Structure 1
């Protein structure tokens, strides 16, 4: 219980600093929040492949956090770090399938991904291919999590799928803010949904540890 309060407080301090400063608080608490999620998972053990993959995905996410908050624009490097994180999360989710897949789910998810891409397309410029690859990968990650939930009908799968869907929302808002024009509430929405998504994915791994 206390660790989740610490994670929530750290996330809140980062979001507050994004609007009001100080800069050191902004730079400290963004990776620290992800780091606390890693420590939480580490303390519960990494005995299963699923837990190990989620831990490595969090590590890649922390690297992406650092790239995206640097004073100089490191958007492509941050995008690449999160792309790797989504690949690793996907492998973890696919490893948990216990029966045949459903095919209406990817149709819905990739349809949504195409809509977001078309919304961003006029302003992407030279980033068309990297952004398209990223949207495809995060959509595939959500598909993997959804199949995990649908085939297992488990709370663990539900946490994973919920986290993946919220991750898509977070990244969609981030992309719209960056490519379609910034707006004041974007940072709060992006970071709140981001930390919620990561927390749900970690909770899915913790449920395996307690099983």
Structure 2
């Protein structure tokens, strides 16, 4: 219980600082929130391959967070870090399949991804290919998490799928804010869904 209060408090401090300051609070609590989740997964997990891979994905996420919050734009480096995190998470999810693949899920996710990408495309410029690759990888990660749940019907699988979906929502909001125009609620919406996604992935470790 206490660890989740600490995670929630840290996340709220970061989001509040994004709007009101101080700057040191913004820089401290963004990565600290994920570090707390990482420590939780590491300490309370079962020690199996799934836990180890999720922990590795959280480490990549911390690196990505640091790149994205630096004063000088490190968007591509942050994109690469989270791309690696999604690849790592995918290994964990695909390793849990317990039945044949459900093919309607990738069709649904792929259709949604194409619509979002086409909406972003006019504003992407030289980032068109990197963003396309990123979209494909995060959709594949979400598909893998969905298959994990659909083929096992476990609480851990449901938490993983919900976390992947939240990650998809968070990254979509981030892309829309960056490439289609800023909106005031962007930071709060992006970071809330992001922290929820990572928390749910950690919960999927704890439920095993």
Q: TM-score range by the shorter chain?
A: over 0.9
User: C-alpha displacement at 1:46, in angstroms?
Assistant: 5.4
- The question of whether the paired residues in 1 share the 8 Å contact of 2:142 and 2:165 is answered with yes
> What residue in structure 2 maps to residue 125 of structure 1?
125
> What residue in structure 2 maps to residue 25 of structure 1?
25
- RMSD after superposition: 0.6
- The question of whether the paired residues in 2 share the 8 Å contact of 1:105 and 1:143 is answered with yes
Secondary structure at 1:30 match in 2: helix
Q: What stretches of structure 2 of length at least 5 have no aligned partner?
A: none
1:38 aligned to 2:38? yes
Secondary structure at 1:200 match in 2: helix
Q: Deviations over 1:165-206 (max 9, x none)?
A: 010000000000000010100000000000000000110011
User: C-alpha displacement at 1:42, in angstroms?
Assistant: 1.4
User: C-alpha displacement at 1:121, in angstroms?
Assistant: 0.2
CA distance in 1, matches of 2:80, 2:206: 27
Secondary structure at 1:97 match in 2: coil
- Count of aligned positions: 208
Q: What stretches of structure 1 of length at least 5 have no aligned partner?
A: none
CA distance in 2, matches of 1:142, 1:35: 23
> What residue in structure 1 maps to residue 181 of structure 2?
181
CA distance in 2, matches of 1:112, 1:88: 23
CA distance in 2, matches of 1:47, 1:105: 30
> What residue in structure 2 maps to residue 139 of structure 1?
139
> What residue in structure 1 maps to residue 93 of structure 2?
93
CA distance in 2, matches of 1:73, 1:46: 38
- The question of whether the paired residues in 2 share the 8 Å contact of 1:53 and 1:92 is answered with yes
CA distance in 2, matches of 1:188, 1:45: 29
CA distance in 2, matches of 1:45, 1:87: 21
> What residue in structure 1 maps to residue 65 of structure 2?
65
TM-score normalised by the chain length of structure 1: 0.98
1:149-168 map, 5 Å: 149-168=149-168
Secondary structure at 2:207 match in 1: helix
> What residue in structure 1 maps to residue 102 of structure 2?
102
CA distance in 2, matches of 1:63, 1:112: 28
